[in-house]
């Protein structure tokens, strides 16, 4: 579970460091811009964007009802993340 959060937390830390550097340099406007950018990037890469996963039995039951395929994914996998972004709310 912690592996899933490594990328978003790293993005937040980098954004915080860059924003702090901008504030120290005297550019609070740019600091806010960087902070908003990095927070939104961290949110997009976090598992909060995607719906909760269901078990294999429940997925099989739902697939039998509506004929949709079952897609298995691993948290933290770049290919799986790309696939889930592509599927959007349908996935």
DSSP result, 5-73: HHHHHHHHHHHHHHHHHHHHTT-HHHHHHHHHHHHHHHHHHSGGGSPPP--HHHHHHHHHHH-PPP---
- Residues 10 and 43 occupy one common structural domain: yes
Please write the tens of the pLDDT for every residue from 11-58.
999 999 999 999 999 999 999 999 999 999 998 888 787 767 788 899
| Structural domain for 77, as ranges | 51-91
- Residues 37 and 55 occupy one common structural domain: no
pLDDT, mean of residues 62-87: 81
State which of 2-16, 23-37, 58-72 shows the largest mean pLDDT.
Answer: 23-37
- Residues 78 and 61 occupy one common structural domain: yes
- Residues 22 and 61 occupy one common structural domain: no
Q: Would you call 29 exposed, middle or buried from its count of C-beta atoms within 10 A (0-12, 13-18, 19+)?
A: exposed
Residue 75, pLDDT > 80, answer no
SS3 88: helix
């Amino acid at each position: 579970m912690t592996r899933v959060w490594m990328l978003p937390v790293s993005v937040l830390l980098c954004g915080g460091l860059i924003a702090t550097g901008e504030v120290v340099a005297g550019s609070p406007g740019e600091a806010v811009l960087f902070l908003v950018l990095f927070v939104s990037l961290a949110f997009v890469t976090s598992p909060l964007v995607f719906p909760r996963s269901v078990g294999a039995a429940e997925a099989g039951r739902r697939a039998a009802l509506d004929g949709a395929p079952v897609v298995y994914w691993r948290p933290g996998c770049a290919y799986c993340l790309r696939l889930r972004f592509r599927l959007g709310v349908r996935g």
